[in-house]
Amino acid sequence: MYPFVFLIALCLGIASATIELDQSLDAQWIHWKATHGKQYGMNEGWRKAVWEKNKKMIEQHNREQSQGKHSFTMAMNGFGDMTNEEFRHMMNGLKIEKDEKGKMFKIPFFADIYVPVDRRQTPAVSPGRCASGWAFSATGALEGQMFRKTGKRVSLSVQNLLDCSWPQGNEGCNGGLMSNAFQYVKNNGGLDTEESYPYVARDGPCKYRPEHSAANVTAFENIPQQEEALMMAVANMGPISAAIDASLDTFRFYKDGIYYDPKCSSEDLNHGVLVVGYGFQGKESDNQKYWFVKNSWGADWGMDGYIKMAKDRDNHCGIATMASFPIV
């Protein structure tokens, strides 16, 4: 009897030494799991521990924010059960590399866990891990240019880009580049509508149908690597595709305010977004200028899916490093 009891006690002792769970958070954990459709097997304790750690980090940041130490707040979201290592690994599945021309980069675009914000609300899609940020960025910029040309708003197919732009060097749910996506539309002579070719967040065969095309691309332009040039482009052309460093926890859990993290890189770009505007808060003199940026991680993230990112602060997060737009 004794050895058996002792053994159990020992096991429990080890378990509680490795993972200390806060039972007062159980109800919140259950609610979070339900909200994000999460189910775990044996590793639930570990996942809860990661979630608790992230939750505490977010709360700590927000306490500091209320003391004036940060310009933005953070909030728990669907990424809450991942460690930063997992988050970075998911993002850095591909390495940034110069292409033959030495001009473009190979970008490991971010895994898209959510069905995105204000369109493509396809409940049938189970949340997959598809690095489609580059494709959302490209369709967003192309939709903007088509709107300028025709005055009509049409949602273009992200899935069409994921499935069909492999010959241009993209890799579907493993990542890609906006410029390769523009090149595809140009070569292909069209891009289908979202309605005819809906987003399913996983790789599949190319199902492009010319009769459902709603856009053309004749060329695309890379914007000089300066925030001033990016501003002129946004002002004159509309939404611009940009690549940024989105690998930090502060970005992962961004909620609102102007995002600035000294650790954000202007060279290690890993995520495609859409720069839709810019502005400033308070007095223009006290460094509160921002880029208004659309992300593709769902309305749950940031300000209804958008983020304000620090502007004119040394190309923060590389927003002007690799910006481009299509010509239609």
Binding site for ligand NAG (CB under 6 A): 189-190, 213-216
Quick one: 193 or 265, whose CB is closer to ligand NAG?
Answer: 193
Q: What are the backbone dihedrals phi and psi of residue 105, each rounded to the nearest 5 degrees, phi first?
A: -110, 155
Report the candidate in 166, 171, 145 with the shortest Cα–Cα distance to residue 156.
145
Quick one: 214 or 323, whose CB is closer to ligand NAG?
Answer: 214
Is residue 270 within 8 Å of residue 247, measured between CB atoms?
Answer: yes
Is residue 33 within 8 Å of residue 78, measured between CB atoms?
Answer: no
Least distance from ligand NAG to the Cβ atom of residue 215, Å = 6
Residue facing ligand NAG at closest CB distance = 216
Quick one: 168 or 270, whose CB is closer to ligand NAG?
Answer: 168
Whole-number CA gyration radius for the chain:
22
Least distance from ligand NAG to the Cβ atom of residue 196, Å = 13
Quick one: 101 or 152, whose CB is closer to ligand NAG?
Answer: 152
Task: State the distance between the two ends of the chain, measured CA to CA, in whole angstroms.
Answer: 80
Rounded to whole angstroms, the Cα distance separating 87 from 79 reads 8
**DSSP letter string, 235-294:** HHH--EEEEE---SHHHHTEEEEEE--TT--SS---EEEEEEEEEE-S-GGGS-EEEEEE
Least distance from ligand NAG to the Cβ atom of residue 233, Å = 23
Least distance from ligand NAG to the Cβ atom of residue 154, Å = 9
Report the candidate in 238, 247, 268, 283 with the shortest Cα–Cα distance to residue 97.
268
Quick one: 76 or 215, whose CB is closer to ligand NAG?
Answer: 215
Report the candidate in 156, 126, 132, 124 with the shortest Cα–Cα distance to residue 239.
156
Least distance from ligand NAG to the Cβ atom of residue 220, Å = 15
Least distance from ligand NAG to the Cβ atom of residue 40, Å = 46
Quick one: 128 or 190, whose CB is closer to ligand NAG?
Answer: 190
Quick one: 214 or 269, whose CB is closer to ligand NAG?
Answer: 214
Least distance from ligand NAG to the Cβ atom of residue 146, Å = 8
Tokens of 217: 């691309």
Rounded to whole angstroms, the Cα distance separating 58 from 185 reads 41
Quick one: 100 or 211, whose CB is closer to ligand NAG?
Answer: 211
Rounded to whole angstroms, the Cα distance separating 45 from 216 reads 50
Least distance from ligand NAG to the Cβ atom of residue 140, Å = 17
Is residue 175 within 8 Å of residue 137, measured between CB atoms?
Answer: no
